[in-house]
């Protein structure tokens, strides 16, 4: 297919040269147009896509509500910067603080470090006391009574829904404009809506109990950990304690990463797909980050007959489809040894470093690449 295209292009160029030789005025007019790439019969043409040096589509590892979005599209970020956080990240962040201070304290067993660890322990007590007070003020018995009542209501509404379904089934085969069918369908929809609303009320009641209990449990755990870390710091660090503290810190960071998205490398924010107050899950892309300090082009349609004529370090000409006036040059940096098969063709991917750049280039743009024939 590519050889046929090259033959057509070559014949077209020859035809234009003949016309320009016959008419001097046409030749002058033609010189005013941008010169097209001269493609030799042996040159290899492939399609590629522009990619940045580094790119990442970042998602949360837990479900929750977005509390803060700290970046906008185009912002410059450094590795480790917090980009987005969930509302339920507080306890995990506290654990990281406690674990970090504990680890640092073991590295420097000075009295000042122990004093800071003591302060963390005291602050953990304050947080625990507040969470305990809120939990004790909560009328759990009343909530559980309401939960029991709602569960009874839901059972009754399920029976109503079943009755409405059976009533609708009597008329479902009638014409859609039939009044009996319409009334039965309306009753069925209303029964379903009543059931859904009652289920939402039940979920809200359960949350009002469970969320406070979870916060109280987390505060208790943070206080116990802070106390433990302070007490072991009194004896001074040793190898075993350092190993444990380092493991605790890494575990706390892993837990925090479920609720907070940080920049995996320094670069630029390419996209922000969430907003504060939005419920998200593990399937939701939150932020895209790129490091476009260097662009690359990767092709995937170089055939087995063509790849043998390519080599690392070879110069490549490229022209983005969206920017036909822009000609880029690049250098082959990788040629895949693995292949894919498509429509009977054996294909190899070729990675090209873009040696010239342009501020108009964007991630994902399609590029025509021309590999010049090597004599």
Q: Look at the alpha carbons of 266, 272, 276, 281 in this order and tell me if their dihedral is positive or negative.
A: negative
Model confidence at 2: pLDDT above 50: no
Model confidence at 240: pLDDT above 50: yes
Domains of the chain, by residue range, sit at 1-34, 37-54+290-371, 56-87+259-288, 110-235
Tracing tokens 């050889």 back to the chain, one arrives at: 3
Distance between the two ends of the chain, CA-based, in angstroms?
A: 23
Model pLDDT for residues 157-199, shown as the tens digit of each residue: 999 999 999 999 988 888 888 988 899 999 999 999 999 999 9
**Would the CATH topology of 37-54+290-371 be identical to that of 56-87+259-288?**
no
CA nearest to 48, candidates 268, 297, 281: 297
Query: Quick one: tokens of 346?
Result: 């054996």
* Angle of the 179-233 helix axis to the 239-256 helix axis, nearest 10: 160
**Residue 141: Cβ-neighbour burial (10 angstroms; 0-12, 13-18, 19+):** exposed
Topology of the domain covering 56-87+259-288: OB fold (Dihydrolipoamide Acetyltransferase, E2P) (2.40.50)
Topology of the domain covering 110-235: Helix Hairpins (1.10.287)
Return phi, psi of residue 40, to 5°. Answer: -75, 160
Dihedral through CA 333, CA 338, CA 341, CA 345, nearest 10? 60
Query: Quick one: tokens of 26?
Result: 């046409």
Which secondary structure element, helix H or strand E, spans residue 157, and what is its range? helix 140-171
Least confident piece of the model among 25-29, 232-236, 242-246, 323-327: 25-29
CA distance 286 to 57: 7
CA distance 49 to 196: 48
Is the model more confident about 324 or about 233?
324
Mean pLDDT of 107-122: 75
Which secondary structure element, helix H or strand E, spans residue 6, and what is its range? helix 2-22
Q: How far is CA 202 from the centre of its chain?
A: 33
Question: Largest Cα–Cα distance in the chain?
Answer: 100
At residue 239 the predicted structure's pLDDT band, cuts being 50, 70 and 90, is low
Please spell the DSSP secondary structure of 205-263, one letter per residue: HHHHHHHHHHHHHHHHHHHHHHHHHHHHHTT---HHHHHHHHHHHHHHHHHHTTTEEE-
Please spell the DSSP secondary structure of 105-156, one letter per residue: HHHS--HHHHHHHHHHHHHHHHHHHHHHHHHHHS-HHHHHHHHHHHHHHHHH
Return phi, psi of residue 61, to 5°. Answer: -100, 10
Q: What is the pLDDT of the chain when averaged over all its residues?
A: 83
CA distance 223 to 117: 12
Which of the 8 DSSP states describes residue 37? P
CA distance 252 to 244: 12
Tracing tokens 């209303």 back to the chain, one arrives at: 190
For residue 286, the tally of other CB atoms under 10 A from its CB is: 20
Residue 180 pLDDT: 87
Q: HSE, CB side, 13 Å, CA atoms: give it for residue 370.
A: 18
At residue 61 the predicted structure's pLDDT band, cuts being 50, 70 and 90, is confident
Name the CATH code of domain 37-54+290-371 (choices 3.40.50.150, 2.40.30.170, 2.120.10.30, 3.10.129.10). Answer: 2.40.30.170
373 backbone φψ class: left, alpha, beta (φ>0; ψ -120 to 50): beta
Residue 106 pLDDT: 72
């Amino acid at each position: 297919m590519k050889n046929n295209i090259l033959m057509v292009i070559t014949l077209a160029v020859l035809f234009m040269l003949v016309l320009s030789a016959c008419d001097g005025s046409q030749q002058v007019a033609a010189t005013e147009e941008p010169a097209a790439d001269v493609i030799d019969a042996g040159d290899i043409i492939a399609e590629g896509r522009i990619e940045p040096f580094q790119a990442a589509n970042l998602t949360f590892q837990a479900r929750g509500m977005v509390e803060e979005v700290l970046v906008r599209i185009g912002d410059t970020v450094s590795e480790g910067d917090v980009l987005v956080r969930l509302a339920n990240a507080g306890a995990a962040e506290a654990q990281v603080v406690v674990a970090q201070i504990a680890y640092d304290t073991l590295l420097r067993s000075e009295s000042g470090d122990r004093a800071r660890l003591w302060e963390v322990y005291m602050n953990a007590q304050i947080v625990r006391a507040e969470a305990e007070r809120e939990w004790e003020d909560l009328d759990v018995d009343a909530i559980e009574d309401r939960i029991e009542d709602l569960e009874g209501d839901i059972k009754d509404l399920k029976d109503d829904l079943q009755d409405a379904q059976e009533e609708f089934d009597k008329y479902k085969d009638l014409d859609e404009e039939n009044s009996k069918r319409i009334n039965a369908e309306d009753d069925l929809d209303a029964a379903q809506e009543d059931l859904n609303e009652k289920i939402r009320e039940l979920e809200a009641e359960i949350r009002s109990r469970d969320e406070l209990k979870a916060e109280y449990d987390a505060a208790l755990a943070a206080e116990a950990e802070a106390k433990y870390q302070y007490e072991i710091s009194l004896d001074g660090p040793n190898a075993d304690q350092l190993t444990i503290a380092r493991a605790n810190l890494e575990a706390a960071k892993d837990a925090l990463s479920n609720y907070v998205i940080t920049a995996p490398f320094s670069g630029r924010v390419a996209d922000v797909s969430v907003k504060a107050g939005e419920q998200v899950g593990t399937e939701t892309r939150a932020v895209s980050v790129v490091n476009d300090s260097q662009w690359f082009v990767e092709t995937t349609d170089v055939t087995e007959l063509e790849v043998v004529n390519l080599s690392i370090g070879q110069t490549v000409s490229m022209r983005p489809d969206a920017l036909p006036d822009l000609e880029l040059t690049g250098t082959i940096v990788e040629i895949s040894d693995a292949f894919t098969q498509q429509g009977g063709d054996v294909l190899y991917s070729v990675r090209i470093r873009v040696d010239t750049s342009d501020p108009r280039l964007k991630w994902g743009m399609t590029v025509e690449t021309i590999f010049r024939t090597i004599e």
